[in-house]
Structure 1
Amino acid sequence: MNFDFPIAFSAVKLIAIIARFGAFISAFPIFSSETISMRYKMFFVISISALLMPVIPADWMSSAMFKNLDLFNLSFMILSEVMLGFTIALFVLILVEILHFGGFIIDQNMGFMMGNVIDPVTNSGSTPFSHLLVQSFFIIFLIFDGHHEVIRLAAYSFQTIPPGGFIPGADLAETAISLSSRIFFVGIQIAFPIFASMFILSVAMGIIARIGEDFPVLELSFSIRFALGFTVLIGTIPVIMAISREINGEVLEWVGYLIKF
């Protein structure tokens, strides 16, 4: 492809930006909400891509990808940009899944497993507290201008990763597996106060049932379980919010790590 004409280079730059930024937006939990019309998403992606045009380094033309940019290399470049966007979104989804798993354990121990909430963002069902924790994370993410930081990091990625320069390797897969292992441990930490209190209550109810056979343990256990669960949950809200803020920071750290990978 001949870049003697500025319009040709500008067109390729715009395609690369739309491929990278569009793939990331389409998979990121907040921006990918099905409640947002596809037309608005396309307008947002194209508008931001046009605004990012000036930040594309001029030395992109000297990269190996542009030396012989035929149809095959152009397709490979677009595929690489899309993979980068999806990889960043995957790492973010892994961190968000920590809160989802913690809420699932809380619902399981408090007896809310039969409850089901339809998440309008993903159009999928989830348990009540899983939905509550994930939505709380999104609110904190927006309050601390995480969406602005995401756009800033997306712009910075064009300074560190040349077009078609992202090729996932074994190190990236190991990092994803290591990060996925945190889902269980941090999820247990979130739900541990509820889990421990419900376990102690179950043991106490079992002892009472053995001592007083006529005592209505089953009828009382449900109301006591709800009251104790909500009391402990209210007391642990500051801890859950602190973990949500920590995950919010980790989301931005991992995005920054990937664009420097």
Structure 2
Amino acid sequence: MEVLYTYFPAFLLVFARVASFFVTLPLFSYRNIPTTHKIGLAFFISWIMFFTIEKKPLSIDGVYFMLIIKEVLVGLFIGLIAFMIMSAIQIAGGLIDFQMGFAIANVIDPQTGVQSPLMGQYLYTLALFFLLAVNGHHLLLDGVFYSYRLVPIDQLWLPFGHENVVEYIIKTFQAMFVVAFQMSIPIVGCLFLVDVALGIVARTVPQLNIFVVGLPIKILVSFIIFLVVFSSLFAVTKQLFELVLLSMRGMMELLGGT
């Protein structure tokens, strides 16, 4: 009982970081998951990690409250990096929807509670299923666990203003758009050619109402191309998962000062 009382402040720091991870981490931060379940899962994972990490007896004082703020920021920031990379799928879906003519049809994203592109939400749901199939959620939890090796629990400061951190965030943001472009370019490129063909038809056959026949043709071509490139989309999604893990690790190394 004395040991538990001695290390209870350290356990609260672990719980603060894990619970903050679950606020922004993909899949675990879904709004349709009850908050009590999230808190319970964070508590039991924190309890397991508490006995495996290096910890020191801490006293509750002003420095301790600064450590709590630091733990919350680490969890939120690293989870946000993972969420930002995963958002490339919805950006790709938005580009596809714009070319297909589905830009006016949005659905509610259960994770954020805001409207998202139709194809983007469909691809994002498939990506989450793929993430579960390859045990990617285990790797995300491993990232939470190994964060204590790179960002120790007793580290007081975080180099948020360092130029390397800012540069890394910009590169991660750039990588998100590169992946989104890779996923959307087969369908968007083909639909651009369809637009060119429809423009030629509109000039050569003025009697044909191109706005009436153009939208169904683009939708049909889009679904045909989507079936053709479906396997390659999952190959890019696999690279996206690797990029998520590398981005999380790189950010933890920078925050840890290594």
**TM-score under structure 1 length normalisation:** 0.89
Distance in 1 separating the partners of 2:47 and 2:178: 42
2:252 to 234, 238, 259: 259
Specify the alignment match of 2:158 in structure 1.
Answer: 167
| Whole-Å separation in 1 of the counterparts to 2:4 and 2:217 | 70
One of 103, 117, 127 as aligned partner of 1:137? 127
Classify 1:19/1:35 alpha carbon distance in 2 versus 1 (closer, same or farther; 3 Å): same
AA in 2 matched with 1:249: E
Q: Structure 1 residues 253, 185: closer, same or farther in 2, change over 3 A?
A: closer
In the alignment, is residue 28 of structure 1 matched against residue 19 of structure 2?
A: no
For the pair 1:190 / 2:190, whether they are aligned, the reply is no
Which one is further off, 162-171 or 176-185? 162-171
| Residue ranges of structure 2 left out of the alignment (5+ in a row) | none
Q: How many Å apart are 1:180 and its aligned residue?
A: 0.3
Q: Secondary structure at the match of 2:158?
A: coil
Residue-by-residue CA offset, 1:107-158 (whole Å, 9 max, x unaligned) = 0000001111112222221111110121122111111111112222322222
Contact 1:55 1:158 survives alignment (8 Å): no
Q: Match of 2:220, SS? A: helix
Amino acid at match of 1:17: V
The structural deviation recorded for 1:164 is 4.2
Counterpart AA for 2:158: I
RMSD between superposed Cα atoms in Å: 1.7
Aligned partner letter, 2:34? S
Q: Does 1:57 align with 2:43?
A: no
Runs of 4+ in 1 over 4 A off after TM superposition: none
For the residue of structure 2 that corresponds to 1:181, the secondary structure is helix
Matches within 5 A, 1:143-158: 143-158=133-148
Query: What is the CA distance between 1:53 and its match in structure 2?
Result: 1.6
Deviation of 1:161 (Å)? 2.3
Which deviates the most, 107-116 or 232-241? Answer: 232-241
Is 2:100–2:222's contact at 8 Å kept on the other side of the alignment?
A: yes
Given that 2:183 and 2:233 are in contact with CA atoms closer than 8 Å, whether structure 1 keeps it comes out as yes
Equivalent-residue separation in structure 2 for 1:196 and 1:21 (angstroms): 42
Q: Secondary structure at the match of 2:108?
A: strand
Q: CA deviation at 1:174?
A: 1.4
User: d(CA) in 1 for partners of 2:90 and 2:61?
Assistant: 42
CA distance in 1, matches of 2:114, 2:234: 24
Query: Quick one: which of 65, 79, 104 aligns to 1:75?
Result: 65
Q: Give the deviation of 1:70 after TM superposition.
A: 5.0
1:174-185 to 2 correspondences below 5 Å:
174-185=167-178
Q: Which of the residues 109, 116, 119 maps onto 1:126?
A: 116
Letter in 2 for 1:199: F
- Give the Å deviation of 1:215: 2.4
Determine whether 1:10 maps to 2:7. yes
Partners of 2:165 and 2:149 lie apart in 1 by: 20
In the alignment, residue 101 of structure 2 is paired with which amino acid?
A: G
In structure 2, relative to structure 1, the CA distance for the partners of 1:23 and 1:214 (3 Å cut) is same
Residue 40 of structure 2 aligns to which amino acid in structure 1? F
Distance 1:73 1:186 in 2: 41
Paired residue for 1:246?
A: 239
Kept after mapping to 2: 8 A contact 1:137/1:248: no
Residues 232-258 of structure 1: per-residue CA shift (max 9 Å, x gap):
111111121111111111212222333
**Are the structure 2 counterparts of residues 159 and 191 from structure 1 closer, same or farther at C-alpha, using a change threshold of 3 Å?**
closer
Q: Specify every segment of 5 or more residues in structure 1 that has no aligned partner in the other structure, as ranges.
A: none
SS across alignment from 2:115: strand
Q: TM-score, normalised by structure 2?
A: 0.90
Shift of 1:15: 0.6
Residues matched between the structures, number: 250
After alignment, is 241-250 or 204-213 more displaced? 204-213
Amino acid in the other structure paired with 1:168: P
CA drift at 1:172: 1.5
Q: Percent identity?
A: 23
Matches of 1:56 and 1:231, distance apart in 2: 51
Q: In terms of Rg, which structure is larger?
A: 1
Deviation at 1:29, TM superposition (A): 2.2
Residue 40 (structure 1) shift: 0.9
